[in-house]
Structure 1
């Protein structure tokens, strides 16, 4: 079996000595890095090697700065483990790799393959690991050591790795921020983290199984292992701003900065969500049918009339319908989005209009010649008589007169047409430049009364979409705006012209500098590149500002909440198809979300999918899981219940309240719970309509206790009032669920209740306002205030 236990102080002293050596090496590397960076900056300043050398030095300075930042992060948890093998060797595991001056390994990065045994080795796994040691530190001091001696003959297969260190981490008070768990990862979690990056990996896990932590550590592993992903960055999408605030420190603590954190609402740069959406409208807008509706809306703006009259220079030019249709078809055949294809359409139309003008002028010339044939013959005779008097330089060099629209005048006529505002307005109106916002405003303003705009939607669904112009955008509108942006594209003609002009000016300036300085061996092109303005933003800053950025990997947390249209928006951001999808389909609350991963797979059959199930709940004690089990069975009788890693925690209870007394009851219960948690964090989870009332009452009643609530609550406060949606993915020491009936209302209400009940690590209380709900019937009843329990 696996034997665990404390070790003598001598072991702590031994590990302290080794840790001191590691930090000494860190200091050496820090000094070397600072010196190299200073030398690089000096060399870059003198420019002795020319522009090309300066560019190389800039790249070197960037690498050294990143190395310095990594060394600075060594102050927290530099080394946390050691593996002793049968051959007598010892491998130390930590948050970064370190080597001595002779390149011998001193510390192995937790993401390296050789470190995997630290998380996966058990007595039954057949490795050569004889002892696994967990080293607990505070700053640069070793404060504890926990050993596991592996007996390979007898041990259960589900043996928890590092149980002592794990239990200590699980029972510690929450801080309101998620921390990294590299020291306590378990075997099933490590397997997910190190899974191959190809395709889509679905991680299904119940409450407390560590889905979020695993996903974030997987991001760090992929960035470390795959240079391609590191070059493109990782996009992490979570359900709410509250959730992002909760996890934002994890990846920087692991040394990773090439990551963009976003919610589905913030994926479209420049678009702000300012209004709520009705459930019916959110459902319709999330349905995949809307992709076809938007495609049809764009196509409708490309339909051509039977013909059009264009007034130019006092004449009316008639462009026939077949000409317009042919120009439109050629534009569509390019496969370009609407706005870039507009250039192709306009090019065809300008060429046709130019020919119409030439035909008009030819006809005008012919008519003029017929009216002045006698005069022309007299002029020709006079020219012939004087031919011998012409200078020899022009003999045989006469110019054919072909009228104002001769071949040499085509460019001039074309320019005049394009600069004529009346003509330009007609061309623009036939294939107009469109914006996503304008397209949706027009659609929503007309769709209720025009069935042809959305023939696949019912009349009720079309009415649900209808809204006044300028009403602002909802979360459900964001994927529609993104779809429209994809269909419309951007016409970069003007921007490209400005960029070319700037480059030409930079080249001319470089040529003047070289001519004045007399420097040899440096090309003007290289010098111009040095002068060119550089984008100094980080990868994350550049990616988050660019809707079309192609990420190397996408991680979606609480993925069961996404609508089909949100999935389209996310998938187009990862052309490689490399995704990690984590969630629990039994916690789905969104009306357009999914309750089965099979449904998601069927919607994207060309993608390669794999599924992994996490079975052990590390956060949630068994007593809380038992209390939530009736809700899970009501959601899905076949759903496997998570198995808790620990039995601890108070037995959950319920309180019977009333609409008139619920606020006072919650205040009394919160006061009791805060005292019982003794410095832990309490969450009051309530329907959205009660958050302000409860938050204000708690803040007034609890005095010095920090209470936070509202749109952007402070999760580090001692008491936080949240909606079930805001609580998704979070964890607290204690939880009170207020107004159970309202939380559980709606088509997916039981999913929201299941989320709320499975947030605590120790204590759970439920407050209902009427007869006890069936799913809570087994919970013991208690009084909201000290005294005898009321009659059930």
Structure 2
């Protein structure tokens, strides 16, 4: 058995012990709860109250024990005396009250989040333990004391990772998979992590400087320090892609029970899926802050006085719908400041009220209330009046509104008069077109102004009625079992019956468009447009944000290239702080220098000062004569790098980054070379891997945003630049491409491509 396998086996014993104790506590708690329930409603009021109190306590304990099933254990701290402390989602003691597991929120667990090589106290090593259900699938060690024997032990065991590994091997060449993110904290990062919850903390840093690590550790710190508030409101993490969110989710076990929701902008709206991507210039237009005004204009444009107002007859009395009635009703509805569809109730009620008054005026007697009620009912049911009221105040669905806008250029011209004819033509698309990622903030704005459409409101009312019925059943159950005094709520029992509990926070938040979070973390924040930010700030009224990004990597035309300009508009000059990270842990010095020199030459702002390690021959340039030779060389280079870095146990990643119009033929060439080098069986196993788990990826610059690989092949950088929507975006895209590898960078190009872009 290998040393790494021995470490897995050792940790499995510790995890089995923790789960065994968890199961025993669950059984014990269930038994005690059953005893309390079996006592029924007999005894004095004091005795019943006491039983209710115990029932509540056992219900709470059961919910807590059930909520920690997933990833119960996720870490270990070793001190200089050789003592070990396991960290998990709950504190567990054995029958002799000796610790098995330390709650991540406890003071004793703080070093798991905060210890650094320069400030580690008596902690010499921090271990991350990865579980799949109850099985240990991986361990990674961060040696915090580089003079400790743990450095050699972890290196021999194949578990060494993190900054400890880097500091211990500055002059050596890393051969395995680098940790997903640099999860260690240095002095320049400490102040960011410990910054106050209020306001926006912006972290600017180049590739490999640990921006994501800082953001996640800060989230953990805030959840620990402000546990009560954030446990109730939750934390939202926004990333550039689902691949990226999956990538960082592996290092977030400490956030498992705290209501963390991970989303991209494109899937932030519950039940809405953006399946398309706009051309960059179109995305920039949709990201313009003035689109708020366009949506508002489109909504108010459906609040109007129709050209033709009908006469109707009620009980033989002829009534005229007058323009002033519509105008008054519109004013009445707008004064409610309710969303359009909700305010429509006031609008209709106001018109009907004025028509009813006209009915009374037409009579030569004072009608009884029953006659007035009947007349009013006929007004509500009159087809002519209903059609006219719909024309005057149209009930709308947000998606329908957006579909109408982009399908009808005259509407764009009317509701967004600042758009040029060319811009209108760019935005126009056929009815029923799939939603794009850039549509989502516009759709969110429309939903905010419109409120639920009437059909959805009816469905929600039905769901509410069904839930009320369930809650009544829960109340009856409590009463029948003698614990119905209210100490145990029907809501609590209903959650128990549904198999839910405290972990439902994230699900509830993700399913509720109007949910407001206590804190939002935004990664790759430089890519967000003004409309994206508008959407996010709505979800965090306290404006408590951790914002990480790099303005040198901005590829969105509507993104940020100057933090001060964007943040001052969003938060005001006094309510945000700019913090800069300068040390590159990811790339070898040779790769970092090449990338930084290129970016500076293109006029990008580069904040990285130094890379911490050197890997000789980590950069190779292969220049070939023609296209066929290019494809052959890319395949051969990829196969060679796969042999060097990809291991059958799932570790190791190689990326081939190519121009969009070459992806198909590059992929075919890579697959052919893999079969020749590895054999059909092993090559096919790699080829069949899903994109999110692919160890050999053929992709474009956008896909690799925020990710890292052991080795990267950049194909035809001049062509990649020429396909970008602007020179600044081209430079940013190539800067991203060049800074993905942790070990090796190959640049493969034709002589013609070299003339396009010297590098």
Please confirm whether the aligned pair reaches a TM-score higher than 0.5, indicating the same fold. Answer: yes
Residue equivalent to 1:358: 360
Rg comparison, structure with higher value: 1
In 1: Cα distance, 2:57 partner to 2:577 partner: 42
Alignment of 1:587-736 (within 5 A): 587-606=553-572, 608-636=575-603, 639-648=606-615, 650-657=617-624, 658-677=626-645, 679=647, 680-703=652-675, 704-705=682-683, 713-736=690-713
Please tell me whether the aligned partners of residues 740 and 769 of structure 1 are also in contact (alpha carbons under 8 angstroms). Answer: no
In 2: Cα distance, 1:502 partner to 1:116 partner: 45
In 2: Cα distance, 1:21 partner to 1:511 partner: 43
Please tell me whether the aligned partners of residues 622 and 748 of structure 2 are also in contact (alpha carbons under 8 angstroms). Answer: yes
Residue by residue, what CA displacement relative to the aligned partner does 1:280-301 show, whole Å, maximum 9, x if unpaired?
A: 3222111111111111111111
Residue equivalent to 1:473: 435
Residue 420 in 1 paired to residue 382 in 2? yes
Please tell me whether the aligned partners of residues 684 and 735 of structure 1 are also in contact (alpha carbons under 8 angstroms). Answer: yes
SS class of match (1:311)? strand
Residue equivalent to 1:758: 739
Deviation at 1:508, TM superposition (A): 8.3
Alignment of 1:237-636 (within 5 A): 237-252=238-253, 255-256=256-257, 258-305=259-306, 308-313=309-314, 316-360=318-362, 362-363=363-364, 402=366, 405-448=367-410, 451-490=413-452, 494=458, 498=462, 536=500, 538-606=504-572, 608-636=575-603
In 2: Cα distance, 1:121 partner to 1:506 partner: 48
In 1: Cα distance, 2:471 partner to 2:444 partner: 38
Residue 37 in 1 paired to residue 29 in 2? yes
Residue 767 in 1 paired to residue 729 in 2? no
Please tell me whether the aligned partners of residues 131 and 148 of structure 1 are also in contact (alpha carbons under 8 angstroms). Answer: no
Please tell me whether the aligned partners of residues 708 and 719 of structure 1 are also in contact (alpha carbons under 8 angstroms). Answer: yes
Residue by residue, what CA displacement relative to the aligned partner does 1:369-407 show, whole Å, maximum 9, x if unpaired?
A: xxxxxxxxxxxxxxxxxxxxxxxxxxxxxxxxx4xx423
Moved more, 700-709 or 49-58: 49-58
Deviation at 1:434, TM superposition (A): 0.8
In 1: Cα distance, 2:321 partner to 2:146 partner: 86
Moved more, 279-288 or 29-38: 29-38
Please tell me whether the aligned partners of residues 200 and 581 of structure 1 are also in contact (alpha carbons under 8 angstroms). Answer: yes
SS class of match (1:724)? coil
Change (3 A) 1:486 1:769: farther
Deviation at 1:21, TM superposition (A): 12
The number of residues matched between the two structures is 699
Deviation at 1:409, TM superposition (A): 2.8
In 2: Cα distance, 1:450 partner to 1:180 partner: 44
Residue by residue, what CA displacement relative to the aligned partner does 1:430-459 show, whole Å, maximum 9, x if unpaired?
A: 111111111112222233576332112222
Deviation at 1:163, TM superposition (A): 3.6
Residue equivalent to 2:157: none
In 2: Cα distance, 1:286 partner to 1:641 partner: 29
Deviation at 1:705, TM superposition (A): 2.9
Please tell me whether the aligned partners of residues 648 and 762 of structure 1 are also in contact (alpha carbons under 8 angstroms). Answer: yes
Change (3 A) 1:776 1:642: farther
Residue by residue, what CA displacement relative to the aligned partner does 1:25-54 show, whole Å, maximum 9, x if unpaired?
A: 847853652344333553576483689666
In 2: Cα distance, 1:436 partner to 1:535 partner: 34
Change (3 A) 1:742 1:55: farther
Change (3 A) 1:208 1:566: same
Moved more, 42-51 or 649-658: 42-51
In 1: Cα distance, 2:394 partner to 2:139 partner: 68
In 2: Cα distance, 1:416 partner to 1:529 partner: 46
- Across the aligned residues of Structure 1 and Structure 2, the Cα RMSD in angstroms comes to 4.3
In 2: Cα distance, 1:21 partner to 1:669 partner: 43
Change (3 A) 1:638 1:273: closer
In 2: Cα distance, 1:434 partner to 1:20 partner: 56
Change (3 A) 1:216 1:96: same
Deviation at 1:474, TM superposition (A): 1.3
Residue equivalent to 2:206: 206
Deviation at 1:707, TM superposition (A): 7.5
Please tell me whether the aligned partners of residues 585 and 594 of structure 1 are also in contact (alpha carbons under 8 angstroms). Answer: yes
In 1: Cα distance, 2:116 partner to 2:26 partner: 42
Please tell me whether the aligned partners of residues 358 and 406 of structure 1 are also in contact (alpha carbons under 8 angstroms). Answer: no
Change (3 A) 1:200 1:421: same
In 2: Cα distance, 1:246 partner to 1:33 partner: 34
Residue equivalent to 1:784: none
In 2: Cα distance, 1:633 partner to 1:142 partner: 36
Residue equivalent to 1:133: 124
Deviation at 1:595, TM superposition (A): 0.9
744, 748, 772: which is aligned to 2:721? 744
Change (3 A) 1:193 1:545: same
Change (3 A) 1:562 1:353: same
Structure 1: any 5+ residue segments left out of the alignment?
Answer: 1-14, 151-159, 366-401, 779-792
Residue equivalent to 1:368: none
Structure 2: any 5+ residue segments left out of the alignment?
Answer: 1-6, 42-47, 130-135, 149-160, 676-681
Moved more, 61-70 or 322-331: 61-70
Residue 78 in 1 paired to residue 46 in 2? no
Residue by residue, what CA displacement relative to the aligned partner does 1:187-226 show, whole Å, maximum 9, x if unpaired?
A: 3334433332211111111010121233223333333332
Change (3 A) 1:179 1:675: closer
Please tell me whether the aligned partners of residues 520 and 540 of structure 2 are also in contact (alpha carbons under 8 angstroms). Answer: yes
Please tell me whether the aligned partners of residues 655 and 711 of structure 2 are also in contact (alpha carbons under 8 angstroms). Answer: yes
In 2: Cα distance, 1:689 partner to 1:619 partner: 29
SS class of match (2:201)? strand
In 1: Cα distance, 2:461 partner to 2:125 partner: 61
Residue by residue, what CA displacement relative to the aligned partner does 1:87-127 show, whole Å, maximum 9, x if unpaired?
A: xx99968566858689898987677667667887889x8x8
Relative to the length of structure 2, the TM-score reads 0.80
Deviation at 1:609, TM superposition (A): 0.8
